[in-house]
Structure formats: structure tokens, C-alpha cells
């Protein structure tokens, strides 16, 4: 019998509520209250920084104000990324007893990137997981990946650059000169590209989603079943939003 995962295709206009859902879903997966889950979602114009990063070092706040770009901190580590509606964000939540997982974090990074890599093949693109946990096409970053392993859940999410405005991306993110400072973990500067640039044409997000769904099902021998959130997940996300992600102290103070 083929294992079934839940597919949640859900986004909110608020990047802060989107980030609260990113924490609420794996929490409920880890408690065994919902199935293992793949989520698709987007943010409209937001810089998302890693848990241990400094906004001062990573973000050009004047450029963010110029382009009306929000700044939100996620609960996972890793570097800063830019989101707009030309991105497709994906997140995988697995219980730690999943046969796909190992004790080695880097091996799990590789394993849970295979679904994306397999999906991109269906779009005619050859990609690989490179250094610093990023997925690249022809040596250029097309997706940044971050993860968290706590309790009974392993969570990994990434940002896939589809039709992204790379000009705004380059302005709102500061280019680091060093890997780390006393103020926080720095992002690693990488050449970036988008699926549009690599394919030479605009590509509908619906087509990318279909390719990723097929890639995940092939890579992990699972069936993805579209479902919504439970009332418990919605309530937890609301609490996380109110007590954490909507607050300036969480988002802007390192």
C-alpha cells in the first residue's frame, strides 16, 4: 500500500501569519495529530531571515520601505531570502520515525531535496543540492533550504525562484562580505537565477506545482492527498501569530 501524505496548498496575505503556519503544521505533525505534510505557499514582497540572523546585517531597510517589503523572522536557521508572488515556497513535515530520515542532518537535507530536484527534471531542468544547503541550476541558486529537527518532527522548507523579481531581491538583501560576525549568522552570497531565466519563458505556478507534486510522489513513493488544516492547527497558528510572529521584538531584534 502506498503511503499517503497530506498536501496543503494554502497561503495568506500576511507574511507573519504564513510564518506562524510554518511552525504550527510541523508541531501538529510531530504530535501525531495530522498526517505528514507537504505545503505550498507564497508571500507577497517579504524578506524572511533565519532564526539567528541580524536584520541590521542582512536587510536594507530603506530599500524594503521603498518597495513596501515586509521583514519576518522564521523559526529555522539558515540565511535571508526574498519572497514575492513569483516565488513558490514548499515545506515538508515528517515524523522522526519516517523511514526516509536518518540521524545525520545533512543526509536528511539531501533526502528531502530530492523531491524538488525530481520535480525540476519534469520542467526540463537539471539541478543539484550544493554547498550551504541550496539547490542550484548550472551553478546558480534557484532555491534556498532550511530545516529544523526537534521533538518528534523533522521540518524542511525552501523558496523556489520561479518568476521572481531578481532586481528587487538584489536591493533588499545586503551582500555579505563574511560568513559570520558577533552579531549573528550571515547569509552566504550566491549567484541566483530563476526558473523563468533558465527556461527562457514565464512559467505558470500551477505547472511548477504539478511538477513538484509528481517529483515528490516519485522520489518518496507516496501519494499526496489535498487537504485543509485542522481546527487545532488554525488555533495554534493564531496563537503563534499573536504572541510571536506579529511582534517587532521577534522579527527585528536579533
Q: List the domain boundaries for the chain.
A: 3-252
- Of residues 109 and 229, the one with the higher pLDDT is 229
What is the pLDDT at residue 190? 64
Is the pLDDT assigned to residue 224 strictly greater than 50?
yes
Rounded-to-integer distance, Cα 3 and Cα 98, Å: 11
pLDDT mean over 227-247: 98
What is the pLDDT at residue 97? 95
Name the pLDDT band for 28 (thresholds 50, 70, 90).
very high
- Asked whether the beta carbons of 198 and 137 are under 8 A apart, the reply is yes
Name the pLDDT band for 185 (thresholds 50, 70, 90).
very low
- 3-252 folds as BirA Bifunctional Protein; domain 2 (3.30.930)
- Asked whether the beta carbons of 21 and 52 are under 8 A apart, the reply is no
Rounded-to-integer distance, Cα 115 and Cα 120, Å: 9
17-20 contact pairs (CB < 8 A, 24+):
17/237, 17/241, 17/245, 18/43, 19/48, 19/72, 19/73, 19/74, 19/75, 19/245, 20/237, 20/238, 20/240, 20/241, 20/244, 20/245
Q: What is the pLDDT of residues 151-164, one digit of tens each?
A: 999 999 999 999 99
- Asked whether the beta carbons of 115 and 216 are under 8 A apart, the reply is yes
Q: What is the pLDDT of residues 115-156, one digit of tens each?
A: 999 999 999 999 998 776 789 999 999 998 999 998 999 999
Rounded-to-integer distance, Cα 214 and Cα 248, Å: 39
Amino acid at each position: 500500500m502506498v503511503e499517503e501524505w497530506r498536501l496543503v496548498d494554502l497561503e495568506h496575505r500576511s507574511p507573519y501569519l504564513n510564518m506562524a503556519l510554518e511552525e504550527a503544521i510541523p508541531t501538529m505533525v510531530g504530535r501525531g495529530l495530522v498526517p505528514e505534510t507537504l505545503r505550498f505557499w507564497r508571500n507577497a514582497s517579504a524578506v524572511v531571515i533565519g532564526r539567528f540572523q541580524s536584520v541590521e546585517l542582512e536587510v536594507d531597510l530603506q530599500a524594503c520601505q521603498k518597495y513596501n517589503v515586509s521583514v519576518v523572522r522564521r523559526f529555522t536557521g539558515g540565511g535571508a531570502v526574498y519572497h514575492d508572488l513569483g516565488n513558490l515556497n514548499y515545506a515538508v513535515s515528517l515524523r522522526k520515525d519516517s523511514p526516509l530520515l536518518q540521524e545525520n542532518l545533512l543526509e536528511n537535507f539531501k533526502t528531502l531535496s530530492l523531491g524538488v530536484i525530481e520535480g525540476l527534471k519534469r520542467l526540463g531542468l537539471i539541478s543539484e543540492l550544493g554547498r550551504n544547503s541550496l539547490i542550484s541550476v548550472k551553478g546558480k541558486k534557484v532555491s534556498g533550504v532550511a530545516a529544523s529537527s526537534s521533538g518528534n518532527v523533522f521540518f524542511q522548507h525552501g523558496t523556489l525562484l520561479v518568476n521572481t523579481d531578481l532586481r528587487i531581491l538584489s536591493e533588499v538583501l545586503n551582500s555579505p562580505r563574511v560568513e559570520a560576525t558577533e552579531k549573528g549568522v550571515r547569509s552566504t552570497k550566491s549567484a541566483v537565477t530563476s526558473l523563468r531565466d533558465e527556461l527562457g519563458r514565464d512559467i505558470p505556478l500551477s505547472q511548477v506545482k504539478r511538477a513538484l507534486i509528481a517529483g515528490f510522489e516519485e522520489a518518496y513513493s507516496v501519494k499526496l492527498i489535498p487537504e485543509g488544516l485542522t481546527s487545532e492547527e488554525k488555533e495554534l497558528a493564531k496563537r503563534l501569530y499573536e504572541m510571536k510572529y506579529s511582534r517587532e521584538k521577534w522579527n527585528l531584534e536579533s
